[in-house]
Structure 1
Amino acid sequence: MASRVNSSFTLIPNQKYRRSNRRSSYFSNNLASDSQPLSTLGNFKALPLEIFQIILRYLSVKDISMLSMVSKTISQHIINYISTSSGSKRLLLPDFHNLELPDRKQESAILEYYRSLGLLFKRCTLLLPTKERLKYIHKILAEVSCFKFSGCAAPLQCLGLPCYGMFLQTLTAGWDELECHRVFNFLCELTNLPRKMQTVVCSKPGSARKLELRIRLFCRRVLLDHWTHRSDSAFWLTRILKPWPMVNQARLLYIIFGPVSPQDGQVVWQRMIEGPTDEPSLKGLADAIKLLYDTGTKEWTADDIISLVDELSVVPREWLLENNARLLILSGNNICFTFMASKAVNGRAIELARLIVFLALVCEKELYCMDWAVKMMQKVCKVFSTPVERNNFLQSVANAFACVTMEMLQSVMSGDRDEDDRSFLNLYHLVQAQANFHKEVLSLTVNTLST
């Protein structure tokens, strides 16, 4: 007979007991009940928002930037933190003037900081439309007066605009042209830049010196200086220049890249018309011209560049031809030849001959190879379509050497000598230039006959 099981008690199976873990239980319960927020906030879900923001205070900008990529929810919390008064004050360095470290180390450190800050904002606002991104960023940065067009009382000693430029460069790096157009339009609307430019290009040069300086600093430090790729610099320079007629483009180019006073940083308008200038005074202009010519942007043709150089050479009045020649040499062989060929094609052989003389003079003064000037003349000769035109041009070059020599000699003989005998030295260099130029011509002729 089978035995009965007593049903008055319950059998408990053998099992191993484990100690409970409240923390594990808490997170597992949350995972089960609220899996979506946990997947985006992780363990931060257990923390009040205030504690999360306190944690952010102890993280570097680079760490916060990395954290912002974890999820959309965390990114939004970081945006909210930046929007708070304490968050923006902590992230935006307030002082751009009292730099204490030597050898520009602190300057480099601050610029690098704003590069990291730009990357943080780039990542945090990644999912926002461009217009909303710009509005949000402006709302945060508007608290810094040194980021504004005229916000700093001592702009030459201020690192604010370079930091703002570094921030914007990092933010917009990799954006397509349409988005960058929107950025430029946003900045123009924000600063009223077109109206300010209109004021300076329509006024007598030098009549609005402080505004000229502000435009120069804003364009250079915010829009142009921080780009690694020349094509990016050309894009932003094109945005600055293209809305204007050619004559105004030349004025703006001079304001942004022309020579300035070492005392107050203001544009020196008379430098090109009062006497021969030096290479540093022209290098900025030459580099800007090469930038537009060499990058091959569709918005600038070779004719555009030549017209721009032509207009530039009469800003504010006609330059000394020596300064014009120096600019062409610094602008490179292609621009120099294209400019001279344009004169040859348009029947301006006498102007071209005088330009050859001053190219030779600059080569002599700066110890450049004189055979470069001779070869440039030889190359230009081929532009003339007939032997008669070529012979007439060569005769014009010889006559130009004689005429310029007589002009300088008359200046010396009239007693109009500078304290440093500049006129006499100029005449001396011209005579030397003529001798070396003709020596190279003879050498070229002999070599041609012997081959």
Structure 2
Amino acid sequence: MVRGKARRKTASRIRPVRTITTRSQLKNSSNFFQGLPPEVFHIILDHLSILEISVFCLASKNMTSCVVNYISTLAWKSKTILQNFHNTAFPGQKCAGEHFRHLGLLFKRCTMLLPTKDRLKFILKFLQVPCFMLEECSVPNCSGLVRYGVFLQTLIAGWDEVECHRVFIFLCDVTNLLHRIQSVLTGKPGLKCFEELELRFFCRKVLLDLSPNQLDCQFWLLRLLKPWPLVHQAHLLLILYGPLLSEGSISWHDLVVRGLPQDALWDLARAILMLFNKPEVKDWTMQSTLAVLEEITAIPQPWHVENVARLLVLCGTKLCYTVLASRALCGRIKEIAKVIVYIILVCEKDGYEMTWAVKLVQQIHMGFRSAVEKFIFIHHLENMFSEVTREFYEFYVAGNHLDARDAFGTLCLLLHSNATFHAKFLHMLLK
């Protein structure tokens, strides 16, 4: 009996210590990092990358608080955000874009428990950098706005439209964006060329060009356009996407006096297509896009017809046909006949298949109801070939223009395009 008692006592003494921690015990116990002095914890974080620090924010609410205290120090801000944006070589970073993408992810994770308004207020304290603001950095080719755009797009990735709209309002409040837009739009195009460029670079580098997909880009573009009347929407769209001169300013005058190359109008065509392809909603329809396009080709004055034609060609078959058909319904037959002649010229100049132009004319022709209307359309088109040819010939014969040689070259191209078009047209008709 005594031995039995001794065995029981010995067994109780050598019972293994419990190594599994229950949830209640874990909840009540302090975190290892929380037990460290803040200075020691900061030294540990100093040796981690920004991406690794952001992972700590996913551990717990307390850990997020510790990370927020760390990144709120001036030393951390100076090391990671206040960089030399005027130097293409980013110290210690292979890719500045990747650096600011990781920063965006860090701020996204460490503020995820806050309401949107509070998140933006918190982040604003870190982003009060001149290179992130409108008209506060006068250094050419500053990369601050691009890096700001990378940061912002990473931060708001996955946010819904309501939250993104709050971001837009926040940006407008911080940068006084709407007031600056109004100041430019109420003036004559080109009068405030520096402000126009500042506005263009800020909106495109921060909001538009870095959007991950077309739907996001549509969202930001409509946020910029909607507050303004139709004429100002067209004006703003040209500021954002219009052609630039070699020295950097927007080429308002060239749109009116001469034909511009294909690449000069591509950005504008892409923006118009983005609006045209947007699913129709109450405050933006296909007619809204057509109305804006109509206004665009009259700013600052009615465009050179070749630029109108080239823009329509770049916009593609559906939009080009829709524009010309809507004008045909309004009885503007002579006007669309001239645009079509220049579309045929553009196809010849830019290397597009002439069959495309033939099918476009065929579509418009079929849109007229009566045989009389169809004949009038074809009659105006053929007369317009003669009229435009005579204009180029008279321009060349006048002989007092520096670009008379270009006019002669264009005249030859027009005659050749006329012959190619009619050959394709007759082949399609007779086969």
Report TM bin, short chain.
over 0.9
**Alpha carbons of structure 1 residues 76 and 203: separation in structure 2 relative to 1, 3 Å:** same
2:111 pairs with 1:111: no
Q: Distance in 2 between matches of 1:341 and 1:239?
A: 29
What residue is the counterpart of 1:291 in the other structure? Answer: 274
Residue of structure 1 in register with 2:424 after alignment: 440
Q: CA deviation at 1:108?
A: 7.4
The superposition leaves residues 423-443 of structure 1 with CA deviations (integer Å, 9 ceiling, x where unpaired) of 111111111111111111111
Partner of 1:57: 46
Q: Distance in 2 between matches of 1:271 and 1:37?
A: 73
| 1:370 and 1:437 in contact (8 A); partners too | yes
Q: Output the amino acid matched with 1:295.
A: K
Q: Distance in 1 between matches of 2:80 and 2:358?
A: 59
* Structure 1 partner of 2:262: 279
Q: Distance in 2 between matches of 1:37 and 1:210?
A: 61
**Counterpart in the other structure of 2:188:** 204
Contact 2:149 2:205 in 1 (8 A): yes
Equivalent-residue separation in structure 1 for 2:369 and 2:414 (angstroms): 30
Assess if the C-alpha contact under 8 Å between 1:261 and 1:268 holds in 2: yes
Aligned partner letter, 2:130: S
Q: Which amino acid aligns with 1:292?
A: L
The worse-fitting range, judged by mean Cα deviation, of 298-307 and 226-235 is 298-307
Question: What letter corresponds to residue 438 of structure 1 in structure 2?
Answer: H
Q: Is the 8 A contact 2:262 2:350 kept in 1?
A: no
Q: Percent identity?
A: 41
> Do 1:276 and 1:320's aligned partners in 2 also have CA atoms closer than 8 Å?
yes
C-alpha distance after superposition, 1:275-325 (max 9, x if no partner): 110011101100100111123252431111111111000111110111000
Tell me the SS of whatever aligns to 1:59. coil
The match for 1:266 is 249
1:139 corresponding residue in structure 2: 125
**What's the offset of the Cα at 1:32?**
11
* Partners of 2:77 and 2:13 in 1: CA distance: 52
**Aligned equivalent of 2:340, options 344, 349, 356:** 356
Q: Which residue identity does 1:46 align to in structure 2?
A: G
The amino acid that maps onto 1:242 is: K
Match of residue 150 from structure 1: 135
Aligned partners of 2:104 and 2:154 also within 8 Å: yes
Q: Are the structure 2 counterparts of residues 76 and 37 from structure 1 closer, same or farther at C-alpha, using a change threshold of 3 Å?
A: farther
User: Which consecutive residues of structure 2, in runs of 5 or more, have no partner in the other structure?
Assistant: none
CA deviations 1:320-352 (Å, max 9, x no partner) are 111000000101111101100101111111111
Residue 48 of structure 1, CA deviation: 1.2
Counterpart of 1:427 in structure 2 is: 411
Is the counterpart of residue 95 in structure 1 residue 80 in structure 2? no
Shift of 1:417: 3.8
Alignment gaps of 5+ in structure 1: none
- Cα offset for 1:164? 0.5
Please give the per-residue CA displacement for 1:374-428, whole angstroms capped at 9, x wherever unaligned.
1101001122121110111001100000111111111111113435711111111
SS of aligned partner of 2:299: coil
Provide the C-alpha distance between the structure 1 equivalents of 2:89 and 2:154, rounded to a whole number of angstroms. Answer: 26
Distance change in 2, residues 1:107/1:308 (3 Å)? farther
Q: 1:335 matched to which residue of 2?
A: 319
Aligned-partner SS, 1:213? helix
Match 1:255 to one of 239, 249, 254: 239
After TM superposition, the structure 1 stretch with the greater mean CA deviation from structure 2, 406-415 or 86-95, is 86-95
1:304 corresponds to which of 284, 288, 299: 288
Residue in 2 that maps onto 1:192:
176
The count of corresponding residues between Structure 1 and Structure 2 is: 426
Aligned AA for 1:232?
D
Superposed displacement of residue 178, structure 1: 0.6
